[in-house]
Amino acid sequence: MKLKKTGLLLAAIILAATAATGCSGSKNASEGQANTSQNQASSGDNVVDIEVWGTNIGYKPVEKGSKLYELYKEKLGVGVINPYVEWNGGTNYLNQLNLKIAANEMPDLFIPQQGIENSLAKSGAIADLTELLPKYAPNVWEAIPQDMWKVVKANDPTGQGKIYYIPGMVDYGRYGGMIRQDWLDKLGLPMPKTQDEYVQVLKAFRDKDPNGNGQKDEIPTGGREQARWMDHLFAMYGVAMFEGYPEWDIYDGQLTYSAVTPNMKAALEFLAELYKEGLIDKESLLNTKDKWDGKIQSDKVGNYFHWIEHGNLILENLNKNTGVKAEFSVLPVPRVEGYKGFYTWKRFAPPQWVVKNNKDQEKLMATLKLLNNMYDKKNWKDLFLGVEGMHYTMKDGKAVKLPDDKSTQENMILNTSSSVATLDFTTELFKSTASEDNKWAIDQVTRNMKEAQQYAKIIAGDGMPASVYDGYPDINNRTLYVEYATKIILGQYPISKFDEFVEKWNQYGGEEVTNRAREWYSKVNK
């Protein structure tokens, strides 16, 4: 019944999207229309506004005439309207996006979620960018390596080798386990290199009051609901994992879903032992993002997993909350005999942008102009800094980022460093905009970002399209995996139940998905 309801909703959305776009083809935009749009978008009062949807974790919306709107208009020549839509891990965002599409109110430019771009491409609701990008947004075309565009074309759900989305690109390992270096130093412990040494460190964090508040309230490590954001505990077993989502890599010589491998079985057995010993937060499988972040920023967590470059926000908020200037280091992937561990690096971030196949050619051209200017390197620093007085201030002739403040800051939806991330550019931006007050945090972050590269590995399934899961939404949503993984970790299931999970996973569509995934892998590696 769940599958049937999902299909009906999707059909309604596609029908509405198709009706909204009509028969207009993105390739039919004429040079004259393009020139008209460019001129109007640059003429001040006649600027074209487009609606942009994407990640917002609590910042103010970008409204017509607001300070960030004016900055975007000045730097990009296009007006940007970014209404507030609660992100909530992408779930609420996708629900609201579906409602907008069904109501014939698709945003002009938006970040797709959970493979929705495939159905929209098939219906003609989003623009075919194959010829549009080189012609009207060459900066985008040149920013993404050609081998990545090759994969995007291979992922075309229409089978015609077209480009329907702009991929996010990350040219460095972005993730890692972060461990309290100051706690290690206080307890006289070396950085753990093996699993046994790591467990001893967790026990010391649990038992020896490293935060010194006399309450023994420290949490050695942990994560969040749906067994997510504990990738460091899976990494030592060579499990390809991305933000808690099992991924595809080569196991026994074949592309395989990491959730059904012996590596995963061993990792879950280890997590169950840690949970039983009280070395993982007892609320790990209940923690929301806010709750888990709150524990980390309350000087209670010894080891967590996340984006390393967001560490300054953790450090600054922890200092603001407790007065403690914490020090984090990258946790080397602990060695486990018989396994080759790594932190997963996906050069392909999820599809970053899709463009509405707009009947209004002026809007379409304005959207392409926005993309072209956003990916122009000369604008990157301005887009990173945001609005003076809101996101940064000038001090001694230097632009200095202001502390994170969701109550006053508008959402910087077009921060290019989130779309095309390079290690040198990102670390240089951090250093060049650090204030004297937060330099200590930025120094840690940039050091850790560079340190993490030695533990990062690009996985074989990097760039795989969500279409391999078509017809099997529960496989895509990890429904069965989450059920078995959480019960095994909690001790409600013995580890022997893992074999039952693998059998069911294959029966419920995993075998077919695996065939599709391996066909895709063969196609892009010809």
**Residue extents of the structural domains in the chain:** 2-171+348-418, 175-345+463-511
- Please tell me if the domain spanning 2-171+348-418 has the same topology as the one spanning 175-345+463-511: yes
Phi, psi for residue 244 in degrees, rounded to 5: 95, 0
Q: What is the pLDDT of residue 128?
A: 98
Q: What is the pLDDT of residue 420?
A: 85
CATH architecture designation of domain 2-171+348-418 = 3-Layer(aba) Sandwich (3.40)
Q: What is the pLDDT of residue 91?
A: 86
| Cα 222 from Cα 177, distance rounded (Å) | 11
pLDDT along the chain (526 residues), means of 10: 39 43 40 37 69 95 97 97 91 94 96 91 96 97 94 92 94 96 98 98 97 94 96 98 96 98 98 98 95 97 95 94 97 98 92 94 97 94 94 90 92 85 87 87 96 97 91 93 98 98 97 97 89
Q: What is the pLDDT of residue 467?
A: 86
| Cα 507 from Cα 347, distance rounded (Å) | 31
**351 sits in which H/E element:** strand 348-355
Question: Would you say the C-alpha torsion 53, 55, 58, 60 has a positive or negative sign?
Answer: negative
Q: What is the pLDDT of residue 200?
A: 98
| Cα 497 from Cα 481, distance rounded (Å) | 12
| Cα 20 from Cα 500, distance rounded (Å) | 46
By CB atoms closer than 10 A (0-12, 13-18, 19+), residue 230 is buried
- Choose which CATH entry (3.10.50.40, 3.40.50.2020, 3.40.50.300, 3.40.190.10) describes domain 175-345+463-511: 3.40.190.10
